[in-house]
Amino acid sequence: MKNKSAISRRDFFKAGTIIVGGIAVTTALTPVDGLLFATERPAGKGKWYGIGIDIDKCIGCGKCANACKKENNVPQEPFYFRSWVEQYTIKNDGTIIVESPNGGIDGFKQSVPSEEIFKSFFVPKMCNHCAKSPCVQVCPVGATFETAEGIVLVDENYCIGCRYCVQACPYGCRYIHPVKKTVDKCTLCFHRLEKGLQPACFEICPTEARIFGDLNDPGSKLNYFLKNHTCMVIKPHLNTGSKLFYNALSPEVR
Amino acid sequence: MPQQVKRLISAFAVFIVLFLIMRQVLTPSSFGELGHFRAKAIQENMVRELRYAGSVNCSKCHEDIRANKAQGPHAQLKCEVCHGPGMKHALYAGQFTNGQLPDSLVLYKPGERKDCAICHQLNAARIKIQFDTINHTMIHQIDAMKHNLADTDTNIEFKCIECHNPHQP
């Protein structure tokens, strides 16, 4: 058999051993990155904001969605939302009905007769301000980012409107602004936080179902809420590092 | 070194220099200071107009209403829940001491049945809600489209606020 290769068998094995061995050694020396769960905090000592929502307390008045639209100039059409409320109704036969007429702003009308309902509850939704945001990771130009305080923001003047992040968000919290043609999302009312005010939806909630606070401060209202309730994030299996914690979250909620 | 390689190297050098110049020109000034984004975008997100003043600012002038409301079941309701955003009102209404506010500063006064129904309309998802953790009272549920709808003699529709004072329901 004619040897087509210029390299000898001995040299081939030498090179192979060095390459494979090198890869094995560097892999063994690099610590394996563990999963970052939402409750794990970054190393910094500053503020790191999180959100708590008590589903048991929400009365579905939609005032939060309304306040958000007014505070942030969100277009009034019923399909642009930074914050909205959904009503989940689980019927006796197990079917799940999810409704959100105009995001809950005009109130909810019970569409299923009471005798057919097994349980029903409201779920307010908004940006989860994930610690490992899929939307930030996919942005091709660096127009969306996470601040040191753990707030995911959009750079309107740099966004090219490619819609990658709208697709990437597993919680459906982004939309393309019809006038600006750039992406728009919840900023956790960053402009209010800087003035020492609460975000509009937290300010307005009549039953105090929404709790907002600093996860790094052990004495904050939010940490008290998290300690005293059985809280869960939506879609934990996606490992987004969501910082929006729901009390009494049913597995039906997606 | 062969002639082809020399030409290739010089061509690459030109491309690399061009790339570096373009990168310098096209990258925004504060890009990369804090991460893979424009650091100035944080400032731009900070300066936006405020609409909601917060109930602390309301009670600076309307302390009597706050004190009255504090004794009723609507105590924990912030003013702007029903009256809408009031930052402009809080900033400028003080200038009009004669009580003649321009329309742009007048806040919404809810009084229709639908305004109350937003929270109090009968709904299966509201029935078990304990909205007050101290007194464990339930939110009052009413079918706003049936409850005391109209005067039996004159057939004129009642408004909720004709019987219930919203500050002291």
Residue A40 lies in a domain: no
A207 at interface of B, judged by CB pairs closer than 8 A: yes
Beta-carbon contacts of residue A158 (< 8 Å; ≥ 6 apart): A141, A142, A143, B28, B37, B38, B41
Residue B9 pLDDT > 80? yes
> Of all residues in chain A, what percent carry a pLDDT higher than 70?
92
**Predicted local confidence at residue B39, as pLDDT:** 92
Residue A84 pLDDT > 80? yes
Give the Cα separation of A50 and A149 in Å (integer): 9
Going from N- to C-terminal start, the domains of chain B cover 3-46, 49-108, 110-169
Q: pLDDT (tens digit, 9 = 90+) per residue, A5-34?
A: 678 889 999 999 999 999 998 888 765 544
**Predicted local confidence at residue A4, as pLDDT:** 66
b/e for B83-101, b at 16 or more Cβ within 10 A?
ebbbbebbeebeeeeeeee
B164 at interface of A, judged by CB pairs closer than 8 A: no
Give the Cα separation of A48 and A52 in Å (integer): 13
CATH of the domain at A169: 3.30.70.20
Beta-carbon contacts of residue A123 (< 8 Å; ≥ 6 apart): A53, A55, A58, A85, A86, A87, A88, A246, A249, A253
Residue A66 lies in a domain: yes
Residue A178 three-state SS: coil
Lowest mean pLDDT among A228-242, B69-83, B148-162: B148-162
B54–A203 CB contact, under 8 Å = yes
Query: Is the ipTM above a cut-off of 0.90?
Result: no
Residue A190 lies in a domain: yes
Give the mean pLDDT of A98-105: 93
Query: A210: domain range?
Result: 49-247
Residue A1 lies in a domain: no
Quote the pTM value: 0.83
**Predicted local confidence at residue B93, as pLDDT:** 85
Residue A253 lies in a domain: no
Task: Name the residue in chain A with its Cα closest to that of B40.
Answer: A155
Q: Which of residues 55-74 of B touch A (CB under 8 A)?
A: none
Q: Please list the residues that pair with A83 across neighbouring strands.
A: A126
State how far residue A206 is from chain B, nearest Cα, in angstroms: 5
Contacts of A67 in chain B (CB under 8 A): 52, 80, 85
Query: Does residue B54 or residue B132 have the better pLDDT?
Result: B54
Nearest residue to B123 via CA among A94, A85, A62, A122: A122
Q: Considering CB atoms only, which of A57, A153, A191 is closest to B131?
A: A57
Residue A27 lies in a domain: no
Please state the domain count of chain A: 1
Give the mean pLDDT of B86-101: 85
Residue A196 lies in a domain: yes
Beta-carbon contacts of residue A229 (< 8 Å; ≥ 6 apart): A52, A54, A247, A248
Return the DSSP state at B35: S
